[in-house]
Amino acid sequence: MSNVWTITVRELKAYFVSPIAYITSAFYLLVVGALFAAILTQSADASLRPLFSNVTFIVLLIAPALTMRLLADERRMGTIELLFTAPVHDWQIVVGKYLGALILYLTMFILPTVYYFVILRVFGSPEIGPTLTGYLGVFLLGASFLAVGVFTSSLTQNQIIAWLGGFAILILMWIADALASWAGYGAVRDVIVYLAITRHYDNFLRGVIELADVLYPLSIVAVFLFLTTQLLQSRRWR
């Protein structure tokens, strides 16, 4: 695991010597702060639930932005060859880069929302259960989105194309529930319904944790990191 952690630290340092972390964080904090201010002034419900329900689309936008350079930039600059010759496994490269993005995402999300929760404690007594499950839901949602972004970053040398590819896949998963109505009935429809993000996220907002809703994002992470590893292995032996 030392190799994984070394790559993770390397990626975290790389974020903060490029404008990506600063621009993405500023955008996220600005939009989420504006949402929280609007919810606080317009709603009598002292709860983070409205914020959690609105933050999902913002995460959909920023997750591919956080991951678009991870492997695309390595390919563009030719440094991917150095990684291939280093004494690390392909899965360690993928997991290390993924964890770097995940740690940055957690920092961006948790710190300001904890501050918002403290503010809500002044105005009332927000429910602890739905708040904690909401945190869990947004964490799992972001974790799955980042895995998709890592995969699309491995497909191209262009960061913009990597972002667009990740965004396109996530949008399809976002509207899968609506697309299911066109699939009629049967196994195909069941698969499309299962892939719908909102169907698995809504329970967290209600304070309910179901095994299927936890397994869904974890399976997305496992599948896309596995695909990324396989893609790196195929390029290593070309």
> What is the pLDDT, as a whole number, of residue 195?
76
Question: Among 107-121, 165-179, 205-219, where is mean pLDDT lowest?
Answer: 107-121
When pLDDT is cut at 50, 70 and 90, the band that residue 107 belongs to is: confident
Mean of the per-residue pLDDT values of the chain? 82
DSSP 60-108: HHHHHHHHTTTTHHHHHHTTHHHHHHSS--HHHHHHHHHHHHHHHHHHH
How many Å apart are CA 75 and CA 69, to the nearest integer?
9
Q: Quick one: pLDDT at residue 185? A: 64
- Res 50: pLDDT: 73
In this prediction, residues 16-31 reach a mean pLDDT of 82
H helices of the chain, where?
A: 2-15, 19-42, 49-67, 72-77, 80-85, 90-123, 128-153, 159-174, 176-180, 187-195, 197-205, 211-236
Q: Give the residue-averaged pLDDT of 184-206.
A: 74
The model's pLDDT over 82-101, given as tens digits with 9 standing for 90+, comes to: 777 777 888 888 999 999 99
Rounded to two decimals, what is the model's pTM? 0.88
pLDDT at 42 over 70: no
Based on its alpha-carbon atoms, the radius of gyration of the chain, rounded to whole angstroms, reads: 19
- Upper half-sphere CA count for residue 102 (Cβ side, 13 Å): 21
More confident residue, 214 or 75: 214
Arithmetic mean of pLDDT, 126-149 = 86
Q: Is the pLDDT of residue 115 over 70?
A: no
Quick one: pLDDT at residue 149? 94
* pLDDT at res. 219: 93
